[in-house]
Amino acid sequence: MKYYEVNFDGQIAPTHEFAGLSKGNIASTQHQGLAANHSRAIEQWQHKVSLIASLGIKQFKLPLVTRPDANVLKTLGLTQAQLQNCPSKLKSALLSASAMWAANAATITPSCDSLDAKVHVTPANLAHFFHRLIEVEQTQKNLTRLFDSEYFIHHAPLPNHPWFYDEGSANHLRICPDYGHSAINIFVYGHDSFNQDSSEHLQFPSRQSLQASEAIARNHKLNPKDTLFVQQNPKAINAGVFHNDVISVANKNVLLFHEQAFINTQDTIKTLKNLYSSKYPASTFYPIGIKASDLSLKQAVSSYLFNSQLVSVEDKKGEYMALVAPYECKANQAVQAVLNKILNEDNPIKQIYYLDLSESMANGGGPACLRLRVVLSEAELASLKLDDYRI
């Protein structure tokens, strides 16, 4: 049975602004208070989804998460009129258009990975920041309505507690020869809630816990033998890597990563290589490591190289991979040198496309942040009523 990568991009609410609400997200805090342009943001978003669709990727949009949320206002004893007189930070949080970054909407396990052969969906609880936490109720309803067939199992968000901080697929990697293969699932966490030593060196907050990742793996019925839990490098978090998708990206049998992405990166890659060769002896795994001497953490974060979308493209000559990168990568000489090296080496990445996503980038969101990536079989995709979500 054929499986596809399907992209569901988050829509941009009219309340889009640069409020600087996310500590540890350097772009967000640096652009706090500057003027945002909703029309430009929509235009840039449209260019991105059009490019992805033109590459043959199945592309849809998520239902809009409205702002302000009437239920949240009611809970806080506020009316629309009273909102205008709220303290500025609360007002910005209640109006935040942060649901546009759909990579944080949920973790979704394909049926080919789960032991019960079902697609499992867990909305992220986004419990670390108030402006994101208030997205969850609408997002859960939207995902339940969107993925509505016998193939899908919907789980409640994890408990809203610091032990279970969960920010969705931005901290999840899937490695396999092809989308329909049972994959190696990698959950990247920033801290172990039951081990103080795991976060004592953090200057910025960790937004994904080991306990959350473990709970999702259990609920989604992943095979423990094919599931890895890898800790982020505190140096990366302190440099502004608030999600793993700011420092590594995977597609099929390719993993593009910075050497300072994880604690003990070399050991992690060695374990992954051994597991891959054992599980898929007829396939080649391509770990593409970028050295700190070639690209510093600061340069990686400012360019958002690793937040590019890494996609598979088919043409008359066969299949290859392409990176869909923000313009900031084109303007950075160090990034260009890294990309040229990647293109000239023996690996599936053969093409790079650049996009102007300045409105999203100013809030700390590159191409990958804007989409929820889902792997679905032909039958699962056909079971969904997606006419209202086409782009």
Looking at the annotation, which residues are catalytic? 167, 243, 369
Kindly give, in sequence order, each residue whose CB lies less than 8 Å from that of residue 214, ignoring residues fewer than 6 positions away: 187, 229
Task: Give dist(CA 4, CA 53) in Å, integer.
Answer: 13
68 upstream amide cis, omega within 30 of 0: yes
- Name beta bridge partners: 11: none
Q: Check if the beta carbon of residue 232 is closer than 8 Å to that of residue 165.
A: no
H or E stretch covering 269: helix 265-279
Residues 6+ apart with CB under 8 A from 17: 36, 92, 95, 96, 97
Residue 258 forms beta bridges with which residues? 290
CA angle at 275 for the pair 272 and 280, rounded to the nearest 5°: 115
Matching residue, tokens 């040229």 = 340
Report how far residue 126's alpha carbon sits from residue 168's, in angstroms, rounded to the nearest whole number.
Answer: 8
d(CA 117, CA 192): 30
Q: How far apart are CA 126 and CA 143, in angstroms?
A: 15
Q: DSSP states of 50-93 as a string?
A: HHHHHTT-EEEEPPP--SS-HHHHHHTT--HHHHTTS-HHHHHH
**The tokens of 206 are what?**
């960790």
Q: Is the dihedral of CA 323, 36, 373, 303 positive or negative?
A: positive
Residue matched to tokens 């080919």: 112
